[in-house]
Chain A
Amino acid sequence: MKFYRSHILVGINETSLQAGVEEFLRSLRAELSKHNLQEEVNVLETGPLGFFGRGICLSVYPDNVNYQDVKLDDIPELVEEHFLKGRPVGRLMLDTLGKFTPKFDYQNRIVLRNSGLIDPESIDEYIGTGGYEAWEKVLTQMQPIEIVNEVKKSGLQGRGGAGFPAGVKWSFTAPIDAPQKYVVVNADEGEPGTFKDRLIMEGDPHQLLEGTMICARAVGATKAWIYIRGEYKLCIERLQNAINQCREYGIIGENIFDSGFDLDIEIKIGAGAYVCGEETALIESLEGNRGHPRWKPPFPGVEGLWKAPTVVNNVETLANVPYIIKEGADAYRKRGTPDSPGTKVYTILGDVAHPGLCEVDMGTTLRTIINEHGGGMKKGFRFKAALVGGAAGVFLPEARLDVSMDHSSLKEYAAVLGSGAILVINEHQSIVDILWSILKFFRHESCGKCAPCRNGCQQLYKLITKIKKGNGSMDDVELMLTIAETMFATSFCALGQSPVMVIRSAVEYFRDEFIAITNK
C-alpha cells in the first residue's frame, strides 16, 4: 500500500453534489499536482464525514481538521497554506474558534466503522477492511441455526423504532418449511429528523448487503428485497452499484462459494408514504398495492410477502450483523447495557453547535450525546427540550437530560428510543408550534384504513390549530389527550398509536405553555 503524508476525505453526499463536488475534486487534484503534492497528499471520495457542514466538506487526516463550505476559489489558498506550509486555513474550518472537534472514535464504531473512511463505491475497499469475511464464515463454517442462535445471544434489538429482538424474529421464520422465503430490508426511512439509514447506506452500502445476506442464510431465504424510499436517489445508486459488484464477484448468485446456497438481492423503490415504514404496509407496497397495514397475526415471519415467510429488518439492524458474526455475540454484548447491547446511531439536529451523526454505546446519556457529539448548544441559545425519536417520539426537558438512552431506561419515562433522531430545541421556540407541525404531519400521513387514526389525526390537527391560534382552552388540551389515548387503544397500526406519546410529553413537561396560550 502506498504511503501518504496526508489524506483529504471529501464527503460525497446530496449537499456536496449540489455544490459541485465533482468539479471541485478535479480542481483540487490539479492544484495538488501543480505543487507536486500528488504523491504526498491523497484525495479520497467517501461517504458521510460525521458532521453536517454546509456545501462541500473536507476532513484532513492525520491533522484532524474539518473544513466546510469550501469553494472552488478557495482551493489555491487551501493547498498552499495547509498542504505546502502546514497551516490550516482558519476561516474555512468547521469551528472557526477551533475549540470543538467532533469525536471521530472510529475504533469504537460498529455500524459506521467504514463510513467516511472508504470509498462506498468500491467493493475492493470494503473487502480490504475485512468485509464479506462474515458472509464466507456463515456459508462455510456455520449451520443456519447457529447463525440465528448467535444473533439471539447477542441481544441485538431492531433499530427501526420498536426494538424487537432480531434473533427472536429470525427464529420464527427459520424453522418453517416453505418453498420460498424472503428477507425484506426496510429502508423506507421517513421519521422526521431521522436519516441515519440514509447515511449508513451512502457511507457503506456493502455492510448492509452483507448483513442482509447473513440474515437470508440464517432463515433460508433465497431472495432479498431492499425497499427504499424514492427520494433517496444517491442511496439507490450506490446500493445498485454494490449489488452489481457482488453479482460480478460471485458473492451473491447461484451456489455461492460452492456452498449450494443461492441468493439474489433486488431493490424496490417506494413512492412517498410514511406508513410504509410499518412492516406489513411495506409488504403491501412491495406487492404493488396501496400501503395499508395488514392484520396481525399472522405475522410476516410466518405469512408475509406473497404469503411466504418473510423477515423484515431495518437497515441499521442488519448493518450490525456482520460484526456479530465475525467477532461473536460476547464481543458485541461488551458494548451497551445488558438489556440493550451494542451501539446506536443518532442524528443530532437543531440548535446544537455541530449537528451531526454519531454512533455511541446504548445507554449513553442524552446529555453526553448532545454535549460531546453535538458540541453543546449553539452559542447564545439555551436548551429547552429535545424531541427524541422524531414525530413518533417524545419531548424530553432539561430535567431528563441524564436519562440513559436504551430501551428499558426510556420506558420509565414513557419514552422510546425510536429511530435515533435527536432534535434540540432552544428556549425561544414554542412547543405548541412544534406540536402543531408534528400533528399536521400525522394528519397528512394517516393512511385512512382505520377510523380511529383517520378521524383522530384530523381532530388532533383541528384542536392544535385552534390552540395555536389562541382560540383554545385547557379543555381542548385535555380533549386532545383523550382522543390520542383512544387512538392508542384502538388504531390498527403503530401510526395511530404514536401521537399520544408526543402530545402527552408536551403537555406534561410544558403545561405552562399550554396554559399561557389558552389564557390569551
Chain B
Amino acid sequence: MYTEICNKYTPEKHNLIQILHEIQDTHPQHYISAEAVKTVADYLGIAENHIYGVLTFYTMYSTTPRGKNIIRLCESPPCYIKGSQNILRKLKSMLDVQTGETTQDGLFTLELSACLGVCGNAPVMMINDDMYGDLTDERVEEIIEKIRRGNQ
C-alpha cells in the first residue's frame, strides 16, 4: 500500500511532504508507521532519520496511531478570547480524554492547533477535513453525537 502511494510521485526528496500527507490521510489510524517511513526512505533514497526529523517538526503528522476522527481545536488568540478554553473543557469531559489522547473506542483523538484561519467564526475546530465554527457547548455536543451515531 505504501509503495503504491510512493509510485504516484517522482522519487525526488521534495515530494516527501506530499507523500507523507497521503500516507497519513489514507491510513485508518491517521499516522505514519515505522514501516511506512522505511518504504518512503527506500523509495526517495533518503535516510530514515531525515524523515523522522520532518515528521516530528510539522504539527499535522503523527508517529503514533490515532483515532478515526482527529479533532483539532484552535487555541490561538482570536479563538482564545472567544472561549476556546471552555470548548476544550467540554470536549475533554465529553470524550473523557486529555489533550493528545484517543478515546477508548478509537473514534476520536483530541488535539490543539494554531490558528486555522476561520477566525470570523471563532471558536473553531477542525475534524478531519471539516471546519466547525461558532462553537458552543451545545454545538459541540451535537457535532460529536452526530459523528458517534454515524459510526454505529
Q: Return the chain A residue nearest B84 by Cβ.
A: A437
* Residue A444 at the chain B interface, CB threshold 8 Å: yes
Contact partners of B53 in chain A: CB under 8 A: 289-290
Are A391 and B76 in contact, with the CB atoms below 8 A? yes
Counting chain B CB atoms within 10 Å of each CB, which of A193, A232, A423, A441 scores highest?
A193
Q: Return the chain B residue nearest A291 by Cβ.
A: B57
Q: Once bound together, how far apart are the Cα atoms of A418 and B46, in whole Å?
A: 38
Q: Once bound together, how far apart are the Cα atoms of A425 and B54, in whole Å?
A: 37
Are B115 and A350 in contact, with the CB atoms below 8 A? no
Q: Once bound together, how far apart are the Cα atoms of A148 and B129, in whole Å?
A: 40
**Given A231-B117, A290-B57, A349-B119, does the pair A441, B77 have CB atoms closer than 8 Å?**
yes
What's the minimum C-beta distance from B45 to chain A, rounded to whole angstroms?
Answer: 12
Contact partners of B89 in chain A: CB under 8 A: none
Q: Once bound together, how far apart are the Cα atoms of A31 and B28, in whole Å?
A: 41
Contact partners of A350 in chain B: CB under 8 A: 78, 81
**Given A14-B131, A350-B78, does the pair A289, B120 have CB atoms closer than 8 Å?**
no
Q: Once bound together, how far apart are the Cα atoms of A52 and B15, in whole Å?
A: 36
What's the minimum C-beta distance from A157 to chain B, rounded to whole angstroms?
Answer: 23
Contact partners of B71 in chain A: CB under 8 A: none
* Residue A122 at the chain B interface, CB threshold 8 Å: no
Contact partners of B126 in chain A: CB under 8 A: 231
What's the minimum C-beta distance from A70 to chain B, rounded to whole angstroms?
Answer: 14
Are A192 and B58 in contact, with the CB atoms below 8 A? no
Contact with B along A406-423 (1 / 0, CB 8 A): 000000000000000101
Are B76 and A271 in contact, with the CB atoms below 8 A? no
What number of B residues sit within 8 Å (CB to CB) of A?
42
**Given A52-B120, A273-B58, does the pair A15, B15 have CB atoms closer than 8 Å?**
no
Contact partners of B18 in chain A: CB under 8 A: 268-269
* Residue B147 at the chain A interface, CB threshold 8 Å: no
Are A349 and B122 in contact, with the CB atoms below 8 A? yes
Contact partners of A438 in chain B: CB under 8 A: 77
**Given A189-B117, A195-B119, A347-B119, does the pair A441, B17 have CB atoms closer than 8 Å?**
no
Are A287 and B14 in contact, with the CB atoms below 8 A? yes
What's the minimum C-beta distance from A363 to chain B, rounded to whole angstroms?
Answer: 25
A419-444, CB < 8 A from B = 421, 423, 425, 429, 434, 437-438, 440-441, 444
Are B15 and A272 in contact, with the CB atoms below 8 A? no
Contact with A along B115-138 (1 / 0, CB 8 A): 111111110001001111110000
Contact partners of B20 in chain A: CB under 8 A: 271
Are A15 and B17 in contact, with the CB atoms below 8 A? no
Are B120 and A437 in contact, with the CB atoms below 8 A? no
* Residue A233 at the chain B interface, CB threshold 8 Å: yes
Are B115 and A18 in contact, with the CB atoms below 8 A? no
A433-486, CB < 8 A from B = 434, 437-438, 440-441, 444-445, 447
Are A54 and B57 in contact, with the CB atoms below 8 A? no
**Given A271-B61, A285-B17, does the pair A441, B117 have CB atoms closer than 8 Å?**
no
Contact with B along A236-277 (1 / 0, CB 8 A): 000000000000000000000000000000001111111000
Are B54 and A434 in contact, with the CB atoms below 8 A? no
Are A434 and B77 in contact, with the CB atoms below 8 A? yes
> Among A54, A288, A434, which residue has its beta carbon within 8 angstroms of that of B81?
A434
Contact partners of A291 in chain B: CB under 8 A: 57-58
Contact partners of A386 in chain B: CB under 8 A: none
Contact partners of A447 in chain B: CB under 8 A: 57
Q: Return the chain A residue nearest B16 by Cβ.
A: A288
* Residue A190 at the chain B interface, CB threshold 8 Å: yes
What's the minimum C-beta distance from B132 to chain A, rounded to whole angstroms?
Answer: 6
Are B77 and A391 in contact, with the CB atoms below 8 A? yes
Contact partners of B94 in chain A: CB under 8 A: none
Contact partners of A437 in chain B: CB under 8 A: 75-77, 80-81
**Given A287-B13, A289-B54, does the pair A192, B115 have CB atoms closer than 8 Å?**
yes
**Given A288-B14, A288-B17, does the pair A190, B115 have CB atoms closer than 8 Å?**
yes
What's the minimum C-beta distance from B21 to chain A, rounded to whole angstroms?
Answer: 6
**Given A230-B60, A285-B17, A287-B13, does the pair A192, B114 have CB atoms closer than 8 Å?**
yes
* Residue B63 at the chain A interface, CB threshold 8 Å: no
> Among B16, B77, B121, which residue has its beta carbon within 8 angstroms of that of A423?
B77
B8-34, CB < 8 A from A = 12-18, 20-21
Contact with B along A18-57 (1 / 0, CB 8 A): 1000000000000000000000000000000000101100
* Residue A356 at the chain B interface, CB threshold 8 Å: yes
Are B114 and A349 in contact, with the CB atoms below 8 A? no
What's the minimum C-beta distance from B79 to chain A, rounded to whole angstroms?
Answer: 8
Q: Once bound together, how far apart are the Cα atoms of A272 and B16, in whole Å?
A: 14
* Residue B59 at the chain A interface, CB threshold 8 Å: yes
Are A272 and B131 in contact, with the CB atoms below 8 A? no
Q: Return the chain A residue nearest B61 by Cβ.
A: A271
Q: Return the chain A residue nearest B46 by Cβ.
A: A288
Q: Return the chain A residue nearest B121 by Cβ.
A: A15
Contact partners of B46 in chain A: CB under 8 A: 288
Contact partners of B116 in chain A: CB under 8 A: 231
Q: Once bound together, how far apart are the Cα atoms of A441 and B50, in whole Å?
A: 26
* Residue A286 at the chain B interface, CB threshold 8 Å: yes
**Given A273-B59, A288-B15, does the pair A434, B80 have CB atoms closer than 8 Å?**
yes
Q: Once bound together, how far apart are the Cα atoms of A52 and B118, in whole Å?
A: 9
Contact partners of A52 in chain B: CB under 8 A: 120-121
Are B121 and A272 in contact, with the CB atoms below 8 A? no
User: What are the 6 tightest A-B residue pairs by CB atom distance, in nearest-first order?
Assistant: A52-B120, A271-B58, A192-B76, A272-B59, A195-B117, A288-B16
In the assembled complex, 16 residue pairs joining A and B whose CB atoms fall closer than 8 Å, in A order, are: A52-B120, A54-B133, A231-B60, A231-B113, A288-B12, A288-B15, A289-B50, A289-B54, A347-B120, A349-B122, A350-B78, A387-B77, A391-B76, A429-B81, A434-B81, A441-B114
Given contacts A230-B60, A268-B17, A444-B114, 5 further A-B contacts (CB under 8 A): A193-B76, A193-B115, A271-B58, A290-B57, A437-B75
